[in-house]
Chains A and B, each alone.
Chain A
Amino acid sequence: MKLNSELLVVLSVLVLIFLVEAGLRQNQSLLSGDVAHLETVDSIAAAVGRGDGITVLFWGNSLIGAGLDLPATTRALGNTLDSEVSTGIVRPDGTTPLEWRYLFRKTVVAQESRPDVLVLGFGPGHLRDRQAGVALSRLAAHHVRSADIPILFAEELATFESRARFMAARWLAIVALGERIRPRIMDLVVPRYTELAPILLRAPTPKEALETARPSPEYRNLAAMLSDAQTAGIRVVAIPMPAPNYWSLDPEERTILLEAGAEILDVRTHLILSPERFPDGEHLDSIGRQIFTAALVEELPLVLNRLAVR
């Protein structure tokens, strides 16, 4: 009798976990617009690769997602270049070259038809490497194809623990989606959770530590992504995105981009974007998007011509 009751407890919990897992697998795109976007990256990249005329894939994170009006850009490029232009945009939230590198290999390099140009939008410090641990679930669930797991393990996930966590997130949506579910539930029950939670993670840094221990940034993943693009015959145009305060490219970042044959197109110098155009302090609003897009489509054709992408 006792045996049955405890087995029933365990079985019930397992069945519930299975049901939630199945439900999440079926409906994960409803849970998050970002997941829905990630599920379409393959088809976006394929559509651009197979497109007619000049094919341009815009790539980045939510900065370029909010800052670029893609239909307007496509129309303007077509008119200026007097050619058919096929475009697409890949802009998963909160990502950097750590995720881009693997997603690019999975969804662009692996395709038979590839875009002519990759336009990479990025914000201050976004091109630097970061700890894989912070993006482990997303890497596992969306960004890394099976063939690239050995590279990821060798370069980013050195410990058994991090590899086990990666594999758990790869096999189980219930694990992989945990980091997306938590803030949604917390937002419901905790006032201003998303806004205030970063306060807890921002450890105050003593002044002396700031002065002495600023590690030099690394750009290993950016370099790997640029190298993949070069090998695949895809030209890269890097566009620094506007922010409330003007920011400069790190000299090393610039060197890596230029050495990999990328063009740096900085249209921010022509722009007048007041801080009000960044309502959350990071992303452009709709007016800002129009201003930025207009500036970009004025300059981008010149770069595309220079790259002889016709």
Chain B
Amino acid sequence: MLFNSFQFWLFFFAVLAIYYVLPHRGQNRLLLVASYLFYGAWDWRFLSLIAFSTVVDFIVARRLEASGSTEGLRKRLVSLSVVVNLGLLGIFKYFGFFVTSAADLLTALGFNPNLPSLGIILPVGISFYTFQTMSYTLDVYRKEMKPADDFLDFALYVSFFPQLVAGPIERGQRLLPQVTTPRRVAWEDFKIGLYCILFGLFKKVVVADNMALVANRVFSADPTTLSATEVLLGVYAFAFQIYGDFHGYSLIAQGTARWMGFSLMDNFRQPYFAESPQDFWRRWHISLSTWLRDYLYIPLGGSRGTSKQTYRNLMTTMVLGGLWHGANWTFVVWGTVHGTWLAIHRWLSARFPPAPARPWPTRAIRMFVTFQIVCVTWLFFRAESVTQAMIFLSTLSGPYVWTDLAVIGFSLLTFFVVPMLIYEIWVEYKNDLFALLTVAWPVRAAFYAAIVFYLLWFPAPVPSEFIYFQF
């Protein structure tokens, strides 16, 4: 049930109509049933996984609370939660990858391996809800929050359908209180929700899907037949495809949740205007980057130890962050490149501290350079294999010629991405993600009308699925 489908909107408005007439407890039960229906629409067998994860973490958290200060027991309990959740991820997401990689290695060493293959389908969104529910037990373990009293409320926190399959990864401290206390839907929520839904649909249906046409054409071609211009434009197209796709999903999740009185976190803040890798990760997939920071980087020691330890912690965090996206060496390389870049930037910043206030040309140059490096990392992220990525990288050395594919790719990038970028420059300038909601209503009406006509007349001829559903 995709957010850009009639089926989803029929489902959502049906749920919403019943939701508004129910009392708080009834609303929670309705949302739980709706969330399980939503998730089961992909494959009902996946429901057992999310239910299992929910039961384990609910019990673990209750036991953690009951165990008082018995540290040994508390550690065993939290380890159980981590092992169960990472075990689910390991079996369903990484088993095949590790088996194939081990088989490849053994073959290279001259053995004839016959390793088992489970042939398991990857459950949609498993990386998101396992991280969400794990953060809950870790927070209870750290005594940063109290465990949920009601199992069904906790089950709703884990499975809340707007953000279930592609985030944002919400912390228990933020979302659970919104589940357990009565919610009021004000006109302000309607206003914010409408903006999020319309802009989110625009980013997905218009920007991401049209950019997917260019990116898919380039990345599915024989890499030796492409010119440097085609590769460059293919990578740029993918950069805006993945941004439009993922930010679009997050916005729709925020908007639909808002119409039910929930406030989900902002997952993106104009990431392509970042001026450094640190800045990029403060703006891109914020719910994951903060999760990795709080539950991996800082527990590893963060930047508290020697420089060497800090670099090691950065690399470990980013490589695992890469692997979180998928079981493929391309994601490992993507994480490694980001880790290396962060480490180099940290080293340089320590020796050449940047000026606190920079003139705009300097900022623009820094944004441009950061965007180019981000695009290099996207090349690894999107490539079918590391070999393809390396061929593309060597192709980028030139020559740059304008072929027909390059002309149409450039034209579509200009037509679909430039209006969005102009709007985001304004949002960045205003330093307010919801700046549009503060302008005069006719301006907003014109903006929404433009979005509606873009949605009606410029969807891609071939729609694509949301990229992050596979993670």
Contact = CB atoms under 8 A, between A and B. Distances in A.
A174 B458 CA distance: 12
Interface stretch (B254-262, B330-338, B438-446): B438-446
Interface in B170-217: 187-188, 190-191, 194, 213-214, 216-217
Contact of A203 (B10, B220, B408): B220
Contacts of B405: 196, 199-200
Interface stretch (B55-63, B359-367, B448-456): B448-456
Contacts of A151: none
Interface in A181-198: 181-182, 185-186, 189-193, 196-197
A193 to B, nearest CB: 7
Contacts of A201: 213, 461-462
Contacts of A32: none
Nearest to A204: B221
Given A164-B6, A182-B458, A193-B408, A204 B220 contact: yes
B452 A13 contact: yes
A2 interface: yes
Contacts of B5: 161
A203 B216 contact: yes
Contact of B408 (A2, A9, A196): A196
Contacts of B445: 8-9, 12-13
Contact of B214 (A191, A192, A200): A200
A248 to B, nearest CB: 30
Contacts of B461: 201
Contact of A9 (B415, B441, B457, B462): B441
Given A16-B449, A201-B461, A175 B456 contact: yes
Given A12-B442, A181-B457, A203-B216, A196 B404 contact: yes
Interface string A222-248: 000000000000000000000000000
A165 B459 CA distance: 13
B450 to A, nearest CB: 10
B221 to A, nearest CB: 5
A212 interface: no
Contacts of A196: 404-405, 407-408, 411
Main secondary structure of the interface of A (DSSP, over half): helix
B306 interface: no
B243 to A, nearest CB: 19
Interface residues of B, number: 38
Nearest to B443: A9
A280 to B, nearest CB: 16
Interface residues of A, number: 36
Contacts of B442: 12
Interface string A164-177: 11001000001100
Nearest to B451: A13
Contacts of A160: 6-7
B448 A9 contact: yes
A6 interface: yes
A181 B459 CA distance: 12
Contacts of A12: 441-442, 445, 449
B438 to A, nearest CB: 11
Nearest to A184: B457
A190 B7 contact: no
Contacts of B150: none
B260 to A, nearest CB: 17
Nearest to A185: B457
A13 B7 contact: no
Contact of A6 (B190, B452, B457, B459): B190
A199 B457 contact: no
Given A5-B441, A6-B187, A178 B457 contact: yes
Contact of B6 (A6, A161, A200): A161
B408 A200 contact: yes
A147 interface: no
A188 B369 CA distance: 33
Nearest to A189: B415
Contacts of B217: 199-200, 203
Contact of A174 (B7, B407, B444, B456): B456
A88 B286 CA distance: 64
A6 B214 contact: no
A191 B407 contact: yes
Given A200-B213, A200-B217, A203-B220, A8 B441 contact: yes
Given A175-B456, A196-B404, 8 more contacts: A2-B187, A8-B441, A9-B448, A13-B452, A168-B6, A178-B457, A196-B407, A201-B461
8 closest residue pairs by CB, A with B: A164-B6, A196-B408, A12-B445, A190-B411, A5-B441, A200-B213, A9-B445, A178-B457
Interface of B: 5-7, 10, 187-188, 190-191, 194, 213-214, 216-217, 220-222, 404-405, 407-409, 411-412, 415, 441-442, 444-445, 448-449, 452-453, 456-459, 461-462
26 contacts: A2-B187, A2-B188, A3-B187, A6-B191, A9-B444, A9-B445, A9-B448, A10-B194, A12-B442, A12-B449, A161-B5, A164-B7, A178-B459, A182-B457, A189-B411, A189-B415, A190-B411, A192-B407, A196-B411, A197-B408, A200-B214, A200-B408, A201-B213, A201-B461, A203-B220, A204-B222
